[in-house]
Amino acid sequence: MGRFTAGVCIFSGSLLVLACWAGSSVGWLHRAQLPGDYWQLIFETIIWQIFVLAGILVMYRFRPLVHKQLPQLLKDGPDWKTNLRIPAIADFTAALICTVIAGVMAYLLIRNGSSKQVLVSLFLSFALGAGIGQSLMPNTNPIALFLSPGIVAIISYLMVLLRYDDSLLLYHAIYIGAEPGVSLFNQFPGSALALPIQYLSAGILGCSIGIGIVRAATDQQDETELA
């Protein structure tokens, strides 16, 4: 406990409650004028991403003040002291690994707009993606990893805009499925059924958990080697 990522978990968890209250993408699909309204989701994703990053930076700036009041609860090992700054190449590489893995998993796992399925799929996808990214490119600056959910969301929405220019074809792809013989990666992307708030809540939560698990495992391994 006490790591900075634990605070991000609490922050993203509160957004997850909001995402559950907001409902699923099914209602949005019924109201939207497709495919054009996916541009609106791209804009919303950018806004949510800015909001989440701003919240994370505020927590980071106020952490030293809280640390003075609760030093026994806010402990970072010397090797993993979080240092948010402009990402370096290694940080971007970890984020790229996370984006690719989580994007492919979300594409494959999300099969409908059900909130439970979407949120669980996003959480698992980004937990695995961030965990692998952190393990392959260890770093103490997770800010680039926290960009991954927004990037996957925008790419998913752009795929819809590029693949479909007719609303009837789009609705057919969503509710009936692709025509026989169409490859999996040319079908409607399941990841486009997730709303921005779902990406920036379950996705960030998954990233935090994935990073935290890898850091904890590394700490445990170091302690075992020293014993």
pTM of the entire structure? 0.88
Question: In Å, what is the CA distance from 84 to each residue of 58, 73, 87, 146?
Answer: 11, 20, 8, 11
Nearest Cα to Cα of residue 205 among 158, 154, 157, 142:
142
Burial of 148 (0-12, 13-18, 19+ CB in 10 A): buried
**Two structure tokens written together for 111:** 């099969």
142 in any annotated domain: yes
Does any domain span residue 75? no
Tokens of 137: 């490119």
Q: How far is CA 51 from the centre of its chain?
A: 14
* 208 lies in some domain: yes
Q: Does 145 map to a domain?
A: yes
How far apart are alpha carbons 3 and 81 in whole angstroms? 8
45 closest CA partner among 147, 171, 128: 147
Residue 73 lies in a domain: no
Q: Which domain holds residue 60?
A: 4-66+83-218
In a domain, 227, yes or no: no
Q: Are 91 and 139 in contact (CB under 8 A)?
A: yes
The percent of residues in the chain predicted with pLDDT above 90, rounded, is: 57
Q: What are the φ/ψ torsions at residue 16 (nearest 5 degrees)?
A: -65, -40
Gyration radius (Cα) of the chain, Å: 19
* Type and span of the H or E element at 43: helix 38-69
Structural domain contains residue 130:
yes
Answer whether 206's CB lies under 8 Å from 124's CB.
yes
Q: Is the pLDDT of residue 222 over 50?
A: no
Q: How many CB atoms lie within 10 A of CB 106?
A: 29
Q: What is the residue whose two structure tokens read 């708030």?
A: 197
**Selection from 48, 1, 20 nearest residue 150 by Cα:** 48
163-215 confidence digits (pLDDT tens)? 998 888 888 888 877 666 666 777 899 999 999 999 999 999 999 999 999 98
Q: Is residue 110 part of a domain?
A: yes
In tens, the pLDDT along 5-32 reads: 888 998 999 999 989 888 888 889 888 8
Tell me what the mean pLDDT of segment 136-163 comes to: 95
Q: How many domains does the chain have?
A: 1
